[in-house]
A = this chain, B = another copy of it.
């Protein structure tokens, strides 16, 4: 039967959907969209045991969403392509649009101290090219190295206390971290503002920037 082939297609696609059907795995995909990570690192980030994390990664691997590469005694996982990141972003946007609880939770996340910059990717790109506003990347060094917005300063969240004074002055600070739900971005902006820096939080990060077709610098 030819029909069997058709069923096989839907079965295969469903296994990809299935792989996106667990909060821990979604979180890993979202983390991996900022660059490759070891199993250990992912386990720490999602708060699960090494074994459980390994099992989740196996599901993602079988679904074809991630690939693994062993270097030294670490296994580095990365997304199978930028399209995977795009699918994650599409799912996230759909959730924000369709599910009231998601919008509500976002509201709670931001709380009071949050100062969001309403500009979208294109607008920010304009600002950057005109030299108005300075981009600040709060992510860990490896994620910054894997790809960051053009001309973004790197100020890892952990070193915010000690190195904030290195930031350029006189221009608005456009701060981003790992995306709209990133608590480090919110907290980072709060801290910068208590020090009287004109900081605002961007509601996007590198994956969204890349998906918008804008150039990413990796170094």
Q: Which residues of A contact B (CB under 8 A)?
A: 2-3, 5-27, 64-65, 80-81, 83-84, 86-87, 90-95, 97-99, 101-102, 105-106, 108-109, 111, 181, 183
Partner of A17, one of B5, B20, B106: B20
Jot down 29 A-B pairs with beta carbons below 8 A, ordered by A: A2-B109, A6-B105, A6-B183, A8-B101, A9-B102, A9-B105, A10-B23, A11-B23, A12-B99, A13-B91, A13-B102, A14-B22, A14-B23, A14-B26, A16-B94, A16-B95, A16-B98, A16-B99, A17-B20, A17-B26, A18-B18, A18-B20, A18-B22, A64-B98, A64-B99, A81-B98, A83-B93, A87-B91, A90-B90
Partner of A23, one of B13, B83, B101, B106: B13
Closest to A109 in B: B5
- Shortest Cβ distance from residue A157 to the other chain B in the assembled complex, whole angstroms: 15
Closest to A67 in B: B98
Known contacts A2-B183, A81-B97: A12-B102 contact under CB 8 Å? yes
Chain copies in complex: 2
Question: CA–CA, A105 to B9, complex, Å?
Answer: 7
Residues in B with CB closer than 8 Å to A183 are 2-3, 6
Question: CA–CA, A105 to B4, complex, Å?
Answer: 9
Partner of A8, one of B17, B90, B92, B105: B105
Closest to A3 in B: B183
Q: Is the CB of B93 within 8 A of A90?
A: no
Known contacts A181-B6, A183-B3: A95-B13 contact under CB 8 Å? yes
